[in-house]
Structures are given as C-alpha cells and as structure tokens.
Chains A and B, each alone.
Chain A
Amino acid sequence: MNSEKVVFGFFILLALTLNFGFFIGDIDNIAHHNVYELFAALVVSLIATVLKFGDRTHLGAIFLATSLVADLQLLMAALIWGYAAHISPTGLDTEATVAIVSFSGGALLANIVSVILLLAETMTVRR
C-alpha cells in the first residue's frame, strides 16, 4: 500500500464530495447552499493541488491541471459570494447565487475528471 496514494485519493474524493454537497439544490436558492461547505471544498481542493506539485509523470501533470481548474472556479465562486454579500449594493441576490452555484458546478466537473483519472490510474496498475 502506498500511503502517498491513499492521501491523494482521500483529498481528491473529499474535494469532489464536498463540492457536490455544495452544488446540489436549487440553483437560485442560496438557502440550499452552505457557505461552510464551499469553504471546505476550496481548502480541500487547494491541498489536493499542492499534493500534485513536483509530479513529473504525464498523469501528474493532468491531475495538476484539473486541480488548478477546480481551484480557480471555487475561488471565483467565493469571490462572487464575498463581493455580493459585502460590497454589492443589492446584496446576495438571485443573480449572484446563480453565478456562485454555476462556478461550483464547473469545479465539480473538474473534480469528476480528477476522480476519473484516479480510477484510470488505479485500473492500469497491475500489481
């Protein structure tokens, strides 16, 4: 058993599930989306990204790329939330909510790709 793989697999899956938990619900109803879940998804996604730093394999490079995409989308979602809640005069309205949830949806897709890659890598390992 490779402990590095366990840790990485754990964080990738955790990022996906947290992301999914945040994403699910009505796209225009902020009550269905928990801010703590978004925060957790972002932190876990960042950790998963750093875990892929310095991996010279081709698959490692793709992992890093998909992770960076997920980070970027979650970060955008968080920024929109912060802007809407504190700076925008209209507050956290439907428009902002839809934007936040769609960005997290994008991140979810990237996370799914990561997990598919992880599965493909696991399948090809013969030992």
Chain B
Amino acid sequence: MRYVKLPQENFEEFFNSLKKWGKVYAPVKKGNIYSFQHVEKPSEIAFDYTRTMLPPKKFFVRPKDEMLRLKGGKWEESDGVEPIVLFGVHSCDIHGLEILDKVYLDEPVDPYYKKRRENSIIIGMSCMPDEYCFCKSLGTDFAMHGFDLFLHELPDGWLVRVGSVKGHEIAWENEELFEELTEEDMRNFREFEEKRANSFKKHLNKEGLEDMLDLAFNSPVWKKYEKICLGCGNCNMVCPTCRCYEVCDLWMNAYEAVRVRRYDSCFMESHGLVAGGHNFRPTRLDRFRHRYYCKSYFDPSAGFNCVGCGRCDEFCPAKIEHVKVLDEVREGLQ
C-alpha cells in the first residue's frame, strides 16, 4: 500500500478535485442525525460524525429501486447510474459493503449493484468510537481493502492510504497536493490509533459465538426480548449488511409500469409468508431470533454478518442492545 500525507491547507483543493470523478456525497449533520448527502464544499462535511442513520448501502441497494420499466409490453432495463464519490466512509461501513459485495457480486451477479459499485469511489475516513461502537471486537475497526483512499486524521492534515488503482489515479493526478510522510506523522498516526483502540466501551464476546447461539435456540432470553421488541424493522433498515428486498410492479400510467424493489425486513410478518397463507416464521419470537442468527452467521470467507457499527442499538426505539442480547443468551447457557 502507498502512504502519503495530505496537509490540511491542501484539503480543499483535494476535495474539489474529487468532483471530476463524480458527485461527491459526504456525511452531513441534519438535526441530531448524520446522513450521506451531496456536498459542494468541505465546510458542509461533518468530519467528526460517528455514524449516519442509513449506511452507504443506500447508494448501491437503494431503499426503493427501479429495476425494469414496461414499455409497449416489453421490459426495458432502467438506467440512471451516475458516478459518485463517497467521502468519509468509516471502516465498519467499508466492511459492510464488502459483505454486500459477497452477496450481490456472487454468481449470478446483480447487474444494478455491480454497475453502481463500478461507478463509485470510496474514500474512507478515520473515526473515534462512541458508546454504541463494537467494531473492534469483530475485527472491522480497520479496513485493509475495499476503499480507494483512506484518510487518517493527523494534527495538521491527513495520512492517506491508497487502496486501489483508482485511488492511485486520484493521487497521481493530484501529486502536487501530497507530501511524503515524516517520522512525526507516523508517530501521530500510531498515537491516534492507540487512543482509538482504547476508546471502545462495548465489547462483543465472539468466541464460539455461532456455536453458542446454535445451542441457545430455546433460550428464554429470546422470549424476554420478544416482548420488548416492537417489531418495527428499524434495525434492518439501518444495518449496513441487511439486504432483504421485496419486489413489486407499479403502474405509472395506463401504458407504463415499473418493477421496483424496496427494502424488506425480516421483522415483518410477510417476510416468511408463502402463497396459501403458511408462514415459516409466524411469531415475533421466530423473527427476532432469526435476525440474531442471520447477523451472527460466520462465513469463513467474509466473517460475521455484523460489523459492529452500533446503528441497530442507536436507532432501536425499544432500546434493545445487540451485544447485551448476545451476552445474556451466552450467560443463560452457563
């Protein structure tokens, strides 16, 4: 990997240079929440954001997404892919995107997702954890790949890691904005990372997690939380790795229809419903447990289906904490 330094005074010029690669989206504060929005200048960016409400998946698997358009009785592919630059993605979200890649780019490839991924540039940014973050325990607190550039905060600028060919191209074209790293920069970088590593308040015990959960299928903890959970599906919407979608056809006018897919949630009763009315997950208990099993599934090539971003905790109206639920299930077994 190539490491360079971007001094703070060059940041604006660097930011402006990104615009030629696509529309720049970055975290912006709106009221109490952060979200990825189109930005024109660096002053709009919330550099110290913890997490956005919707993860970057919203650019690739959109909340509501047109797949096909029916014209004259024939389906036509919907287009509308524009190049984008996602600025300020935290490492947990980069890991989240890699998990989505695993699903959507696996054969058969999802053409919509692929097109959007190919037309995007991911620029990572370092962060400080808050009380909800537990990415460190899942090993997703540092991204080694899945980005084009990664910016680490330094007192007088940014340490930039170049992670892809596209990233190299961006650095190449802006060669005059970058400097070589000094010993002091490296020291600052190490100090920042050390401070960061020590700031995590939440820790998920992932030792044998998947086996432990499998054994706890009938744990009373599920029953306890079934009563607390509102079944609203918020946790699914904000999760960077949840990707269930529902498909439906909508008529735009008498002659034109669109096939649309939209986010679906495994907390909805209709999720496991089949024709004829049989439901494979009829109770909230089944659905609550299913989400925890899905998130804690360990894929040897991609890791857990959870990246520890803490969104499900922060945006849960019933204040259910992911780590606490898993800890309680584990305790119940002992």
A and B associate in one complex: no
